[in-house]
Structure 1
């Protein structure tokens, strides 16, 4: 077993990172590490993750009962334990509220695939759970349909949870996901998102396999590797549907990169109407001010 004090310090360090990144406002978020077959080290409730000290942390058993610690354990520990029970090789779990990834969970917008190489290799398809009130077993169980096929999950109308063999690696998947979601939003605001062709996407899957990262798409028959096929069956129950991004079917080589159905505003579309309305209101305000003796230039 690793040195407990060192593990506590690592958890505090990651807590500071998620706080500084804006992933955990006030007392949001929680972190855990499995220190033995029956014991889990975790963060306490009602404390800023940016200002924790090693002595603030708690130890619970695998049923969530607190064994030690001067502060009360996190109220969301059952989420962590559900992951550890389902996947015994998992040592660390990080739950927080990264704003861009959380926005996808609020919109129930599936995270597009086949856009960035790093995301294809490190994340793959990212599921969105159905909503449940945080804290209880029902909430914890929302991750069970997905936990064996991914290391990061978006919790509907809540945040994210990621997991791995170390606290830092568990945190990495959240950081990669939120950066990706932000890039997607920025790209979409510029007009369009270009996707990989099928040969490009398959080359990345081959590289992922070579590097030892599992991906469910490699085992699925008739899988459209760029269309979120891995977790599509869960969409109806979770209320997930693509609205902001329309993933294309993977294009064959020579077809050119596919792009989301988004382009700069054309005359007569919704955005043009909004601009016309704003211009009209501005003109009327200026006219009213001028009538009142206030000259607007």
Structure 2
């Protein structure tokens, strides 16, 4: 099969390079994991099925359309490409998707343990809350659809009893999300061996969100009124009745929401109007 967009050596090599990094980091054993990159309106390059990502070559890469139909390539596309395509359909800004099984993050997936917030500054600024998609047998559309309720507010999702999926505008960005997540999960597990983790206080947490907003990064806590700083999930609507409960770590402190904190620190519209009215009256009296 031939397709004009299939001749893209740079992207194919990038897919292979990310595959080598995933394999070398121990994020994908044997034939685990898959990688994709959108090269056209309806064309996606992806890793094939049954291949070790650490030994993948550009000629192994194949091409599919957004419905999963294979357009080009000598090897058969991965069955889990539907997960990648579903993400791309719901998030037109996403061009790259990386799915693998990083061991520390996957430990949280297997334990079905939500990842604590308000612990590490880099995570608060560059990642934020990481949701746990409900379990479904991998490979089909039902499995792919498990991530849909969470796509609006994150670029990183833990797949329950399975692994992780991260995505972004470039392959490097998508891969970095996975690496950051697994490093954080490793730190949490190591810290737990020393004792309970210590959460950042309300002031420290608010300052990090201020920094995040200043840097131009979005966060559900900027928009969800009843989402507090550290413990209430911004993804509760997606979880419905399956919202995960924290068991391995002490519960996060109950701080007011970011929006509530900001509104409390600023005068309300009515107060400003009163102040303005009084000022006008004083000025008028002085000019008589």
Structure 2 counterpart of 1:10, from 14, 31, 34? 14
Q: Higher helix proportion, which one?
A: 2
For residues 150 and 103 of structure 2, what CA distance do their matches in structure 1 show?
22
For residues 232 and 200 of structure 1, what CA distance do their matches in structure 2 show?
25
Q: How large is the RMSD of aligned CA atoms in angstroms?
A: 1.6
Residue-pair matches, total: 252
Q: Deviations over 1:158-206 (max 9, x none)?
A: 0000000000100000100000001000001101101111111111111
TM-score by length of 2: 0.84
For residues 2 and 120 of structure 1, what CA distance do their matches in structure 2 show?
38
Q: Deviations over 1:244-292 (max 9, x none)?
A: 013322459xxxxxxxxxxxxxxxxxxxxxxxxxxxxxxxxxxxxxxxx
Q: Is the 8 A contact 2:236 2:243 kept in 1?
A: no
1:165 equivalenced with 2:169 (yes/no):
yes
For residues 41 and 237 of structure 1, what CA distance do their matches in structure 2 show?
36
- Corresponding residue for residue 230 of structure 2: 226
Q: Is the 8 A contact 1:125 1:228 kept in 2?
A: no
1:187 equivalenced with 2:210 (yes/no):
no
For residues 89 and 239 of structure 1, what CA distance do their matches in structure 2 show?
27
Structure 2 counterpart of 1:126, from 114, 126, 130? 130
TM-score by length of 1: 0.82
Query: Which blocks of at least 5 consecutive residues in structure 1 are unaligned?
Result: 253-297
- Corresponding residue for residue 207 of structure 1: 211
1:63 equivalenced with 2:67 (yes/no):
yes
For residues 171 and 142 of structure 1, what CA distance do their matches in structure 2 show?
21
Matched ranges for 1:68-107 at <5 A: 68-107=72-111
Query: Which blocks of at least 5 consecutive residues in structure 2 are unaligned?
Result: 257-288
1:198 equivalenced with 2:205 (yes/no):
no
Please give the secondary structure, in 2, of the residue aligned with 1:85: helix
Q: Is the 8 A contact 1:108 1:239 kept in 2?
A: no
Q: Is the 8 A contact 1:129 1:238 kept in 2?
A: no
Q: Deviations over 1:24-81 (max 9, x none)?
A: 0000000000000010000000000000000000000110000100100011000000
- Corresponding residue for residue 22 of structure 1: 26
Structure 2 counterpart of 1:51, from 51, 55, 58? 55
For residues 24 and 238 of structure 1, what CA distance do their matches in structure 2 show?
28
- The runs of 4+ residues in structure 1 deviating greater than 6 Å are none
1:156 equivalenced with 2:160 (yes/no):
yes
For residues 74 and 222 of structure 2, what CA distance do their matches in structure 1 show?
47
For residues 237 and 64 of structure 1, what CA distance do their matches in structure 2 show?
31
For residues 188 and 232 of structure 1, what CA distance do their matches in structure 2 show?
26
